[in-house]
């Protein structure tokens, strides 16, 4: 059984069937890509996984425990972190503060009233935050206002915020969208390094096939809310149904 087991998920928005009987099994410590045309329901599926949306029916098991009905912060504390399609960061805070918050969440749980300590005296937390920042090459932007970062940097920051939590399952919603070529390559290298050096499972949504084929071990193609095929990258490349539904015009190298 996979670390993540999604069974029979349905979700309607009015007349639109955004997810129709979605089944997905993600094997522990693998990178599983989720691809499909715009509006296929990829982000909606992640929304269900992190507790942002309640599905109409179906079940989601993470490590054997049910996820549905739990609050987003509880799901995160179970070990699931998510990078959003549009970066969700603390814009009013500095980069290093953005990094420290997930460190606190990991160490102290979902609430702790540490009102009489000072941020500056949390040496361990600051060290973890800085190490992660330098892993994503952003240490020199440590004291910048997060809102003033470029789009690519915001994404990298958000990814670093998720990674520093050492999640067991990392959900990435188009992590390289809006990044320059060089940054995309850096991101691929970073994710490869993470994949190979930690016990971590990743589900990655990506339109950039270069990213998908560099990282993924399994690929699920989603179209109109329903999984079309699931297979290894090599088989997906040549699959006629996939060519037709998704890759059609943008043939892969």
Partner 1 sequence: MLGLNKKDTMFLLIVIALTMATPFLMQPFSEGSALAQFNGGYPDLMAKVAIFGIFAIGFNILFGLTGYLSFGHAAFLGVGSYSAVWMFKILSLNVFPAIILAVIMAGLFSLVIGYISLRRSGIYFSILTLAMAEMSFRLAYSVFTPLTNGETGLQVRPSDVQLLDGPNAPEYPNIFGLLISDSYKWEVAGHVFTFNVGFYFCAVIAIIAFYISLRIFRSPFGMMLRAVKSNQNRMSYTGLNPRPYTLAAFVISGMYAGLAGGLLAVMDPLAGAERMQWTASGEVVIMTILGGAGTLLGPVLGAGAIKYLENIFSKINETVLHDWFAFLPDSIEDVVVFILSRFTGHGWALTLGLMFMLVVTFLPGGLVEGGKRFFGMFKRKPKEPDDAEHHPETPPHVAE
Q: Least separation, in Å, of the C-beta of 106 and partner 1?
A: 7
Which of 117, 196, 199, 253: binder of partner 1 (CB under 8 A)? 117
x/- mask, partner 1, residues 42-61, rule CB under 8 A, reads --------x-----------
18 binds ligand ATP (CB under 6 A): yes
- Closer residue to partner 1 in complex, CB, 122/231: 122
- 187 phi and psi angles, rounded to 5 deg: -65, -40
Q: Tell me if 40 contacts ligand ATP by CB under 6 A.
A: yes
Q: Which stretch binds ligand ATP (CB under 6 A): 12-20, 118-126, 146-154, 184-192?
A: 12-20
Nearer to Mg ion, 163 or 177 (CB): 177
Longest dimension (CA), the chain: 62
- Measured CA to CA, the distance from residue 205 to residue 220 in angstroms comes to 10
Shortest Cβ contact with Mg ion: which residue?
43
For residue 120, state whether it binds partner 1 (rule: CB under 8 A).
Answer: yes
- Quickly tell me which residue has 């997930």 as its tokens: 102
Asked if 124 interacts with partner 1 (CB under 8 A), we say: no
Q: In the set 39, 91, 109, 238, which binds ligand ATP (CB under 6 A)?
A: 39
For the record, the structure tokens of 181 come out as: 């070529």
The strand pairing partners of 34, in sequence order, are 205, 220
Per-residue b or e along 94-119, where b marks 16 or more CB atoms closer than 10 Å to that residue's CB? ebbbbbbbbbebbeeeeeeeeeeeee
| 42 touches ligand ATP (CB under 6 A) | yes
Give yes or no for residue 123 binding partner 1 (CB under 8 A): no
Residue 145 site contact among Mg ion, ligand ATP, partner 1, none (CB < 5 to 8 Å, cut-off depends on kind): partner 1
Residue 47 makes contact with Mg ion by CB under 5 A: no
Q: For residue 37, give the 3-state DSSP assignment.
A: coil
Hey, what's the torsion of the CAs at 180, 183, 185, 189, to 10 degrees?
A: -160
Treating both helix axes as pointing N-terminal to C-terminal, what angle do 123-135 and 151-163 enclose, rounded to 10 degrees? 130
Which partner from the list partner 1, ligand ATP, Mg ion, none does 180 bind, CB cut-off 5 to 8 Å by kind?
Answer: none
The verdict on 54 binding ligand ATP (CB under 6 A) reads no
* Chosen from Mg ion, ligand ATP, partner 1, none, partner binding at 93 (C-beta under 5 to 8 Å by type): partner 1
| C-alpha of 199 from chain center | 15
d(CA 173, CA 248): 22
């Amino acid at each position: 059984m996979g670390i993540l087991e999604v069974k029979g998920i349905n979700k309607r928005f009015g007349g639109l069937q955004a997810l129709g009987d979605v089944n997905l099994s993600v094997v522990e410590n693998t990178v599983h890509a989720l691809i499909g045309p715009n509006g296929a329901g990829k982000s909606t599926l992640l929304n269900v996984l992190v507790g942002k949306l309640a599905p109409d029916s179906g079940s989601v098991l993470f490590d054997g425990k049910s996820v549905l009905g739990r609050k987003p912060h509880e799901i995160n504390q179970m070990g699931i972190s998510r990078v959003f399609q549009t970066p969700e960061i603390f814009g009013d805070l500095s980069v290093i503060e953005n990094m420290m918050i997930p460190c606190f969440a990991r160490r102290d749980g979902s609430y702790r009233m540490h009102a009489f300590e000072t941020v500056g005296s949390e040496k361990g937390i600051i060290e973890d935050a800085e190490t992660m920042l330098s892993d994503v090459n952003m240490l020199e932007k440590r004291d910048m206002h997060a809102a003033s970062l470029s789009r690519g940097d915001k994404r990298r920051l958000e990814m670093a915020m998720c990674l520093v939590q050492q999640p067991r399952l990392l959900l990435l919603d188009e992590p390289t969208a809006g990044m320059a070529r060089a940054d995309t390559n850096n991101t691929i290298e970073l994710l490869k390094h993470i994949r190979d050096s930690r016990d971590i499972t990743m589900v990655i949504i990506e339109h950039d096939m270069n990213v998908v084929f560099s990282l993924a071990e399994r690929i699920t193609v989603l179209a109109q809310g329903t999984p079309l095929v699931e297979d290894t990258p090599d088989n997906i490349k040549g699959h006629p149904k996939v060519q037709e539904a998704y890759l059609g015009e943008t043939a892969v190298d």
